[in-house]
Each structure stands twice: as structure tokens, then as C-alpha cells.
Amino acid sequence: MKESIYAAVCGEYGKRVLPPVGTAYDEDYTVIVCPICQRKTLDNYDICRHCGWEYDGFPEDHYSAANGSTLADYREQYKQALKERKGHDV
Ligand SMILES: [Zn+2]
């Protein structure tokens, strides 16, 4: 599993409060819904704080080199990371 998924799931990227979906952010970004975790993130190769997905805008079945998997595969890995994290919670 990609380490960034686990880091994100564990909150290692920290938190940030984003404005509503569709709002421009920091000049280069727009707030979007993450294709993996369905939470708010940014487009333009930003890394989602919740799941670690680097948004590259490719369609569902495209292999994303930046993320080392397709969206579908990454979603599975994300689910797995959530499960594992639960297992480790004290
Ligand atoms: Zn996400």
C-alpha cells in the first residue's frame, strides 16, 4: 500500500478548512470533491488530506502514475487503510 494513504488516514497531513466545492482557492486551485474519499480537496495535483490521493484529473480507468494506481484500486487501498487504522486504535 502507498504510504501516503496510511499517513493521510492517520491524519499526518493535518487538517485544513476548505470553502464550498467550486470555490477558487489560493489562485491555482479550485475546491472539488475527492474522487476517492468524497470529501473536499483541491484540484491541480494537490494531495487530499483525508486519503492521500494526488488529484491529477484523469478518468476512472486511467492509470495514475502520480498515485501508482487507478482510482478504483486506490479506493480499495483506502478502504483497507481505514480498516487497518481501526485495528490499531487503542
Ligand atoms: Zn480524498
How remote is the CA of residue 37 from the centroid of ligand 1, in Å? Answer: 4
How remote is the CA of residue 79 from the centroid of ligand 1, in Å? Answer: 11
* d(C-alpha 71, C-alpha 32), whole Å: 16
How remote is the CA of residue 24 from the centroid of ligand 1, in Å? Answer: 18
Residues 6+ apart with CB under 8 A from 14: 49
Digit-by-digit pLDDT tens for the chain (90 residues) are 778 899 999 999 999 999 999 999 999 999 999 999 999 999 999 999 999 999 999 999 999 999 999 999 999 999 999 999 887 664
N-terminal to C-terminal alpha carbon distance within the chain: 22
How remote is the CA of residue 32 from the centroid of ligand 1, in Å? Answer: 10
Report the SS3 class of residue 73: helix
How remote is the CA of residue 42 from the centroid of ligand 1, in Å? Answer: 9
Q: Which helix (DSSP H) or strand (DSSP E) does residue 31 occupy?
A: strand 29-33
